[in-house]
Amino acid sequence: MITFWNGNKSVARQEYEYQLFELLVADSKELEPIHNDLTDYPAAEDEGAVFDNGADALVTIAGNKKFAGKPLIEVKIPLCRGLLGWRLMVVARERIDEFRDLTLAQLKSKRVGVPATWVDAELFRANGFDVVERGSLDDMLGWIEQGEVDFMTLGVNEIHDILADSNQQTRNLAIEPTLALYYPFPVVFYVNKNGAQLAECLGQQWQKKQQMVAEHFFAHYGEAIAKADLAHRQVMTLTNPMLPEGYEALIEADLYRLTEPL
């Protein structure tokens, strides 16, 4: 059995990443069955130790410092076309006009919320933002509603699903309609150091199944990309100090790549 650790992320990402993993190992019977481990870890050190606790593979941000120095195999393929780095802002519905067409300097004067263990916190701090890093995703959405935090950002691939939740809290939140942030934020496979066969399979099947991978991507995220309407937003570009060398060619920074086949 292969254990795919899939916790500490939104449901939208969990579904996409697990189904992509399934797609890529489907023809390798010796790598099945797959256990989709959705365990959330509240502490960064626990998340960084998942391979020590039996995980065989996971998806994470390239350069995630929680795994720095860990013996693992990195499968350097872009799993989400850079989409997670295209960010929209969640704000309190009653404050939406306050955020329209802000400059980057004005946005930095506000408090950006990042749930505990999310790697975005370091990125925002490096770009000069006032970061509130604590709690869970649900906690952070509540603090935005209550005004304790001014905004948070979520990837285009997940923000609509998260705010489609019908609870009272999300009904009082909205997606700011004029701005988008972009930073290079590729997601990749990390594989257990003992999983050379699995890592090789993932790389080979990625190349072999390009058409299926593209269909999977657009089936999950095509509607979300259209809703985001990135071409008509003011885009603020941030740097990613965690990005390892060698990833530049894998980063889908061009907006138009999001609507074209792989």
Q: Is the pLDDT of residue 20 over 90?
A: yes
Query: Over pLDDT 90: what percentage of the chain?
Result: 66
Q: Is the pLDDT of residue 255 over 70?
A: no
Give a yes or no: residue 98 inside a domain: yes
| Residue 143 shares a structural domain with residue 68 | no
Report the CATH number that the domain containing residue 115 is assigned in CATH: 3.40.190.10
Query: Over pLDDT 70: what percentage of the chain?
Result: 93
Overall average pLDDT of the 63-89 stretch = 91
pTM, rounded to two decimals:
0.85
Give a yes or no: residue 126 inside a domain: yes
Residue-range definition of the domain harbouring residue 94? 83-182
* Per-residue pLDDT at 15: 95
Give a yes or no: residue 259 inside a domain: no
* Per-residue pLDDT at 75: 94
Lowest mean pLDDT among 11-15, 25-29, 57-61, 195-199: 25-29
Q: Is the pLDDT of residue 140 over 80?
A: yes
Model confidence at 203, in pLDDT bands (50, 70, 90)? very high
Considering its fold, how many domains does the chain have in total? 2
| Residue 88 shares a structural domain with residue 78 | no
pLDDT digits (tens, 9 = 90+) for 49-70: 999 999 999 999 998 989 989 9
SS3 assignment for the chain: CEEEECCCCCHHHHHHHHHHHHHHHCCCHHHCCEEEECCCCCCHHHHCCCCCCCCCEEEEECCCHHHCCCCEEEECCCCCCCHHHEEEEEEEHHHHHHHCCCCHHHHHCCEEEECCCCCHHHHHHHCCCEEEECCCHHHHHHHHHHCCCCEEEEECCCHHHHHCCCCHHHHCEEECCCEEEECCCCEEEEEECCCHHHHHHHHHHHHHCHHHHHHHHHHHHHHHHHHHCHHHCEEEECCCCCCCCCCHHHCCCCHHHHHCCC
